[in-house]
Amino acid sequence: RFERGSEALLNYIKEFQPKYSFFGHVHQPLVSRTRIGYTECINVGHFRATKRAFTLNI
């Protein structure tokens, strides 16, 4: 089940379509990534299973 959190943030993402949105959703640690339109939403709090912090190489 996808929980989108802040409605204001969701509206911002839908309107401006940033490339990435980073979040740390502790209630849903098994969901690491999802998309809203063109925006890749990445759960940077998803490290329990891997024991490795999230890194992004740009």
What is the span of the domain harbouring residue 45? 1-58
- Number of domain units in the chain: 1
For residue 5, what pLDDT is reported? Answer: 72
Q: Is the pLDDT of residue 10 over 70?
A: yes
Nearest to 38 by CA among 56, 5, 13: 13
* Apex 8 CA angle, 46 and 26, nearest 5: 20
CB 41 within 8 A of CB 53: no
What is the tens place of the pLDDT at every residue in 13-32?
Answer: 999 999 999 987 666 566 77
Helical residues (DSSP H) of the chain, grouped into ranges: 7-16
The residue type at 41: C
On whether the CB atoms of residues 57 and 35 are closer than 8 A, the answer is: no
User: What is residue 15's predicted lDDT score, i.e. its pLDDT?
Assistant: 97
